[in-house]
Amino acid sequence: MYPSLEGKTVVITGAGTGLGKAMALRFGAEKANVVINYFKEEENPEETVEKIESSGARAIAVQGDVSKEDDVKALIRQAVDSFGSVDVMVNNAGVENEVPSEDLALEDWNRVISTNLTGMFLGCREAIGYMLDHNIKGSVINMSSVHQQIPWPHFVHYAASKGGAKLLTETLALEYAPKGIRVNAIGPGAIDTPINAEKFADPELKKGVIELIPIGYIGKPEEVAACAAWLASEEASYVTGLTLYVDGGMTKYPGFQAGKG
Ligand code: BGC
């Protein structure tokens, strides 16, 4: 547990499901005020709000599309109206779909880039702008991926968005370090979330993924959330510009495990 997170306001985009939801619950357990941005009603964010409230913390759910400037501005405004601050911004909303690149429709390219990368930029800009105006030495966490480093055929739009996330994070880290605002990324590997549900429901596909993970299993959302809590806390006060891979070793060339190199 990280006492420095108690009473802090944490905004998380794409927190209706998956990693975002796990982070919302974890920040709630840290007694932070949690602002849950979600996209679709069927994600049922109210259930997460109730869980957080029943553990004694505070939470609200705010619908919005992170690729829309007005929605991101409204998200920050609602966080401030409800809890009086924005101390931690987690830009987590992301989408992906598999398609050979020669068939990738411009519409799909635009959808993935505008959610994953433009949405991340807008979240950073609005949260950092607020922090600067109010002299808050806050923390920004961008949800990147192992695919900011590992090329991923059939997911060129996704990989491009995450490659962009890497330099976006590092550039903003450098730009705002003098103001005490830390900007870091998390690079999850294969985690058991709805985005992967179809793939992991197929035993052959799941086996193929596990072969790429030296630690030998698909990660749990809570294992990513634990890293986000640390990175947002004062315990990470000297850490900025980092991508913290939470990937069971996936980025460490598993093809070269003993006997294979
Ligand atoms: C993707 C997952 C994928 C993982 C490892 C993540 O960024 O969202 O679908 O399983 O990378 O390839």
pLDDT digits (tens, 9 = 90+) for 144-186: 999 999 999 999 999 999 999 999 999 999 999 999 999 999 9
Residue 139 counted as domain residue: yes
Residue 175 counted as domain residue: yes
Candidate of 17, 19, 95, 96 to mutate for ligand 1, largest count of ligand atoms within 8 Å of Cβ: 96
What residues does ligand 1 touch, defined as CB less than 6 Å away? 96, 145-147, 189-190, 195-196
Tell me what the pLDDT averaged over the chain comes to: 98
Q: State yes or no: pLDDT of 127 exceeds 90.
A: yes
CA distances for 181 relative to 24, 174, 184, 234, angstroms: 21, 10, 10, 12
Residue 222 counted as domain residue: yes
Residue 226 counted as domain residue: yes
The domain of 79 spans 1-247
Residue 252 counted as domain residue: no
Residue 253 counted as domain residue: no
pLDDT at 261: 86
Could you tell me the distance, in angstroms and rounded to a whole number, from the CA of residue 157 to the centre of ligand 1? 13
Q: What is the CATH number of the domain that holds 71?
A: 3.40.50.720
Burial of 11 per CB tally in 10 Å (0-12, 13-18, 19+)? buried
Q: Active site residue: 158, 176, 238, 245, which one? A: 158
Say if pTM beats, i.e. exceeds, 0.95: yes
Tally of domains in the chain: 1
CA distances for 18 relative to 22, 94, 194, 217, angstroms: 6, 10, 6, 17
Give the residue, by CA position, lying nearest to ligand 1 atom 1.
Answer: 190
Residue 189 counted as domain residue: yes
**Closest atom of ligand 1 relative to the 162 alpha carbon:** 7
pLDDT digits (tens, 9 = 90+) for 191-217: 999 999 999 999 999 999 999 999 999
Residue 257 counted as domain residue: no
2 as an active site residue: the answer is no
Mean pLDDT confidence for 69-79? 99
In DSSP terms, 191 is beta-bridged to 219
Give the residue, by CA position, lying nearest to ligand 1 atom 9.
Answer: 196
Instruction: Give the rounded percent of residues in the chain with a pLDDT score beyond 70.
Output: 100
